[in-house]
Amino acid sequence: MDRLDNTVRPYAWGSTTAIPHLLGVEPSGEPQAEMWMGAHPGAPSRTARGTLVEVIDANPERELGPAAVARFGPRLPFLLKILAADAPLSLQVHPDLRQAGEGFADEERRGIPVDAPHRNYKDANHKPELICALTEFDGLCGFRAPAEAAALLDGLGVDSLKPYVDLLRARPEDAALREVLTAVLTADPQEMAHTVAEATAACTRLGGDYAPYAGLAHHYPGDPGVIAAMLLNHVRLQPGEALFLGAGIPHAYLDGLGVEIMANSDNVLRCGLTPKHVDVPELLRVVRFEAGDPGVLRPEASPDGEEVYETPIDEFRLSRYALSEGGTAHDLTLDTPQILLCTAGSVRAGEHELAPGQSVFVPAGEKAEVSGAGTLFRATVIV
Query: Would you tell me how many other CB atoms lie within 10 Å of the CB of residue 328?
Result: 10
**DSSP-based three-state secondary structure for 191:** helix
| Phi and psi at residue 88, to the nearest 5° | -65, 140
Q: Of 196, 200, 202, which Cα lies nearest the Cα of 156? A: 202
Q: Are the C-beta atoms of 332 and 338 separated by less than 8 Å?
A: yes
| Phi and psi at residue 160, to the nearest 5° | -70, -10
Question: What's 159's DSSP letter?
Answer: G
**DSSP-based three-state secondary structure for 172:** coil
Q: Could you give the maximum distance between any two Cα atoms of the chain, in Å?
A: 65
State yes or no: is 317 an active-site residue: no
The C-alpha angle 5, 6, 10, rounded to 5 degrees, equals 145
Length of the chain: 383
Measured CA to CA, the distance from residue 225 to residue 47 in angstroms comes to 41
**DSSP-based three-state secondary structure for 224:** coil
Measured CA to CA, the distance from residue 317 to residue 308 in angstroms comes to 8
First-to-last alpha carbon distance for the chain, in angstroms, is: 21
Residue 190, H or E segment? helix 189-206
Catalytic residue among 3, 144, 270, 378: 270
Measured CA to CA, the distance from residue 351 to residue 36 in angstroms comes to 22
Q: Are the C-beta atoms of 178 and 289 separated by less than 8 Å?
A: yes
**DSSP-based three-state secondary structure for 162:** helix
Contacts of 160 (CB under 8 A, 6+ apart): 191, 194, 195, 198
Torsion angle in degrees (nearest 10) through CA of 109, 114, 118, 120: 80
Catalytic positions, please? 270
